[in-house]
Chains A and B, each alone.
Chain A
Amino acid sequence: MSDTSNMDAAAKKKMLLREKRKQQMQSKGAGSNRLQKIVGGANSLMTSDSVLDKPKPAPPVKNDTLDLFNQAGSPETGDIPNMFDLMKGMGGEDGGMPDMSQLMQQFTQNAGGIPGQESAAMVAPEVQKYHTDKLKQFKYRILFVKWFFVLLPYLYLLTHPENSLLGDFLNDKRNFLMIFSTLEVLSISLNFAFAKNLEQKTKFKEVPGGKWVSYLAYIPQGIVPFDLVKIVGTAMTWLGVVNGALVDFSFIVLVLVLLSYYHV
């Protein structure tokens, strides 16, 4: 009996001491005060900033994605799971895989963040999808208008120089390249202006060249002597512009071939 009561007393004392130690550390500014006491007494230049005075990081968020993965990789099924059914469960109503770069960002942020970079606010996948879709929609509308309402009639009229609709300047085939370049610059400018406007609304900036360029950000700084992401991004942007011009040029060639073939 006395042994039990001794043990209880010892356990109680242990708990009380623990409480007292916790109280000592938990009061506001306690950490830096204690360090200041040590540092001050020794006339030292060591810092008295305390880790206890910093806000505590959020605990790891429980991720039940592993449950979904469990369904996919369950050894009992033995069958290759239906990919489409799985993808329906991911990334929104229309299905589709979550953005890899977003997952990688989440990875680095949870692991402590990429050194030297501020943590950006995460944009919801639905907003990103909306942004991308909107951009594509605008691009294809501009393309449609450019091809069927500008280039096609222009090319038809250009192959019929007797028309009175185009003026001398536009009828002159020597000016074609200049007119074509002007048209390209206009459509590209419209695309960029629309993209910038949309970025301000959605707070999401699409990486030129796609997600793969954003993975370059994970190459540690110092391995390459320049800002690789920026350079590759710029190169991809220019490549996009050149591609667009080439596609339009191909359309022009196709139209001219068809016009001459059908003697229109």
Chain B
Amino acid sequence: MSDFDEELQAEPNLKELISSETYKWIFVGGKGGVGKTTTSSSIAIQLATKNPNKNYLLISTDPAHNLSDAFGEKFGKDAKKVSGLNNLSCMEIDPSAALKDMNDMSVAKQGDAEKQGSLNDLLSGGNGGMLSELTGSIPGIDEALSFMEVLKHIKKQSVDDNEGSEFDTIIFDTAPTGHTLRFLQLPTTMSKLLDTFGGLTKSIGPMMNSFGGLGKGFDINAVNQQMEELKTNVEIIRDQFTDPSLTTFVCVCISEFLSLYETERLIQELNSYDMDVSNIVINQLLFADGDDECKRCIARWKMQKKYLGEIDDLYEFYHLVKMPLCAGEVRGLDNLKKFSEYLYNEFDPVTNKDLVFSLKHDF
């Protein structure tokens, strides 16, 4: 291998990601059960501890939220600081609560107490909160609401340009692969839809305006303004998501066939969206060389090594971060802090083997 090729080797850690000054959006995703939440929480903790002057937000877009469990404290739909870390907040998006919020906001805007009647009842309690349950179960609603959260932050950035957004970087703990890909397609899909809606409203708009005096509550000018704003924001998001200096996707996998296969498909899909992928975290490695007495571990490690070889070969120019399978669960801030160190400084199975058995178990 030439000197140039040696220099061009990507380091097996996330130092570049964590030290970066430019990232605004970091997605962490992969197949189910590979350690996305652990990895996204660890990345968020490393970002927060290594950059104390910046603010970070970790959002879970997985309908089966795990963040509260990972940190050992309850998070909700509003960003809440993590106990023990002043510059890291977490958020778990709840579709029905978010929809109720939207309704409350729009009712407050209209300022008409009568209108709070039926829709509010439907969303909150009336008829058993039927609408809330119904809308909460629409496929893709979590992705749509996560996207709205992104829109909110984009809007804040453009409005408060001098002050900037409340958070410097937002980390997404994403749902398993399919949901995430749908979410990432939203900017392109919405952009196309808004373009076509523009055409529809062009033909309906003047007609609706001429009937403006007949119907109250429908202001075509306001709708047009909102659509323009939405279109602008969606295009900003699309541009930011495809800018490798602003957005990156961290793939998490384990060293097994299905996970490797899905990781490759995910990376190819992300490439087709022009999204940057430069980091891959390989979790749950056994490192059962040497004097390990467990025959099962040795056999499993042999299988993992086979796929590790393929990973090294396929992802030559990616930052491959190899993380161990610990004896205990990586839950709670202390355990996450210990674990997350080895995203920054690569884990050595010989010198760092204490990590495997050092995690606290008192939950």
Contact = CB atoms under 8 A, between A and B. Distances in A.
Interface of A: 10, 13-14, 16-18, 20-22, 24-25, 31, 34-35, 37-39, 41-42, 44, 46, 50-52, 56, 60-63, 65-66, 68-70, 72-75, 80-81, 83, 86-87, 90, 97-98, 100, 103-104, 106-107, 110-112
Interface stretch (B116-124, B163-171, B193-201): B193-201
A73 B198 contact: no
B228 interface: yes
Contacts of B45: none
Contacts of B162: none
Contacts of A111: 189, 192-193, 196
Contacts of B306: 41
B189 A25 contact: no
B77 interface: no
Nearest to B311: A38
Contacts of B260: 38
A38 B310 contact: yes
B244 interface: yes
B265 A72 contact: no
B196 A35 contact: no
B362 to A, nearest CB: 40
A52 B268 contact: yes
Interface in B221-278: 221, 224-225, 227-228, 231, 244, 257, 260-261, 264-265, 267-269, 271-272, 276-278
B318 interface: yes
Contacts of A50: 268
Contacts of A72: 202, 205-206, 209
Pairs A-B, 6 closest by C-beta atoms = A66-B198, A63-B195, A110-B192, A20-B317, A73-B224, A42-B257
Interface residues of B, number: 51
Contact of B205 (A22, A35, A69, A104): A69
B10 A70 contact: no
Most chain A CB within 10 A, of B197, B203, B225, is at B203
A45 to B, nearest CB: 11
A51 B16 CA distance: 29
Interface string B78-101: 000000000000000000000000
A44 B193 CA distance: 39
Given A18-B276, A18-B278, A38-B310, A60 B191 contact: yes
Nearest to A75: B221
